[in-house]
Structure 1
Amino acid sequence: MAIWNGRVLNLCILWLLVSTVLLNDADCHSWKKKLPKPRKNLVLYFHDIIYNGQNAENATSTIVAAPEGANLTILTGNNHFGNIAVFDDPITLDNNLHSPPVGRPQGFYFYDMKNTFSSWLGFTFVLNSTDYKGTITFNGADPILVKYRDISVVGGTGDLLMARGIAAINTDAYEGDVYFRLRVNITLYECYY
């Protein structure tokens, strides 16, 4: 029995070594060498004005869920953990809120961490301009305190059919818990336009 256990152990070690050598060739960063050239690049600005109980006429987003006992017009403390907001904001070509909108981002974000300021985004840019008509869909984690962060472009319709790529976002401006502006630099690697 001891000889049999020794052979099984030797075979397991041999299998582990062979697997390690074979998997070592499947480097996680090798995709960078094969990444195609971008097909499109767009820079758009996303303006969010959260409803605070006094700005109903100008608000473009609102808290729809909050921790038990929380007020739906004030983001909670503790990094806003547990707040969920939906939005229908303007998108502009520059950082001016009063510029003509080229579309609307529609979706939601929720604050998902207790120990740091972070959210998760799920939204679609609904574009209706002379340059683009259609949608681009995004989702991913947004570690808000990081200056530049990436989220995935997971789809599109119309002029941006089957869009796939990365959106580098950064908080371009904010005014307390009422207003923030995101600069969204969209790089599409796949798009059937």
Structure 2
Amino acid sequence: MATTWSRAALVVAVVFLISISSAGAAHGRSRRLVRSYDKPCKTMRLYFHDILYDFSNSTANSTSAAATKPTALATAVSRNGTFFGEVVVFNDPMTEGKALPPSLEETAVRAQGLYLYDKKEEYNAWFAFSVVFNSTAHRGTLNLMGADLMFDKRRDISVVGGTGDFFMSRGVATLRTDAVEGFTYFRLQMDIKLYECYV
């Protein structure tokens, strides 16, 4: 009887070890963690294009829309209003260069998520989104979140994880406002530095 139990325990242990080793071999390849606190394991520069629908522009060219209106507090505190409490949902194209792509719907890299205005006295936003890669160069997502202090020339948000080619990646994305046209269009330059990568 003890031999039967020890064989069963051995089989369970072998199955467990195989499952652990195969979990590390995501997408048909084994991966190893590269981590550095001073030198990034991967860098990239992307441009984030947001075209907000405001009833005056084309629905075909819009890539984001307000899901809520600003709160009454926004206009009570500021004469011009700060959009405090407004939530914007977006599915924005991202490019390697500054130019908008010919097709806003069929780009290989997209930013999908939301931002909300979270300051009463001046414009300030908080982002939570995924950069979705679907090309021959990269597949998967990078997940980002953090405060976009809009009046700062440069600001950082956290890369908190990823999937696919960016499995479990972590790092920092430095944002810089590159262009603004009224309240309907802005372009951010996004310099992404990953300090934890599985390669």
Q: For this structure pair, what is the TM-score category when the shorter chain's length is used for normalisation?
A: 0.7 to 0.9
Structure 2 residue matching 1:65: 3-state secondary structure: coil
| Deviation by residue 1:33-53 (Cα, 9 ceiling, x = unmatched) | x82421000101110000011
Using structure 1 for the length normalisation, give the TM-score.
Answer: 0.75
Task: Work out whether 1:161 is the aligned partner of 2:167.
Answer: yes
CA offset digits 1:115-152 (Å, max 9, x no partner): 12100000000011222111000000011011100000
Q: After superposition, where does 1:147-158 map in structure 2 within 5 Å?
A: 147-158=153-164
In the TM superposition, residue 98 of structure 1 has moved relative to its aligned partner by 2.2
Q: Does 1:64 align with 2:63?
A: no
* 1:127 and 2:133 aligned: yes
Q: Which amino acid aligns with 2:47?
A: Y
CA deviation vs aligned residue, 1:90-131 (integer Å, no higher than 9, x gap): 011111012673311000000000112100000000011222
Paired with 1:53 and 1:91, the residues of 2 have a C-alpha distance of 23
Q: Identity, % of aligned pairs? A: 46
Instruction: Answer yes or no: is the 8 Å Cα contact 2:158–2:172 preserved in 1.
Output: yes
SS of residue in 2 equivalent to 1:89: strand
1:52 aligns with 54
Query: Larger RCO: Structure 1 or Structure 2 (Cα < 8 Å, ≥ 6 residues apart)?
Result: 2
Do the aligned residues in 2 keep the contact of 1:44 with 1:184 (CA within 8 Å)? yes
* Per-residue deviation, 1:68: 5.3
Q: Contact (CA 8 Å) 2:71, 2:84: kept in 1 or not? A: no
What is the CA distance between 1:78 and its match in structure 2? Answer: 2.0
Q: Deviations over 1:26-67 (max 9, x none)?
A: xxxxxxxx8242100010111000001132111000000013
Rounded Cα–Cα distance in structure 2 between residues aligned with 1:121 and 1:87: 11
Aligned partner of 1:80 in structure 2 is 83
Q: Aligned equivalents of 1:68 and 1:162: distance in 2?
A: 37
**After TM superposition, what 4+ stretches of structure 1 lie above 2 angstroms from structure 2?**
98-102
**How many pairs align?**
155
Contact residue 171 and residue 192 of structure 2 kept, 8 A: yes
Q: In structure 2, what residue type is equivalent to 1:62?
A: A
Unaligned 5+ residue runs, structure 1?
A: 1-33, 70-75
Alignment of 1:2-41 (within 5 A): 35-41=37-43
**Corresponding residue to 1:170 among 167, 170, 176:** 176
In structure 2, distance between residues paired with 1:129 and 1:182? 21
Pick from 93, 96, 107: which aligns with 1:93? 96
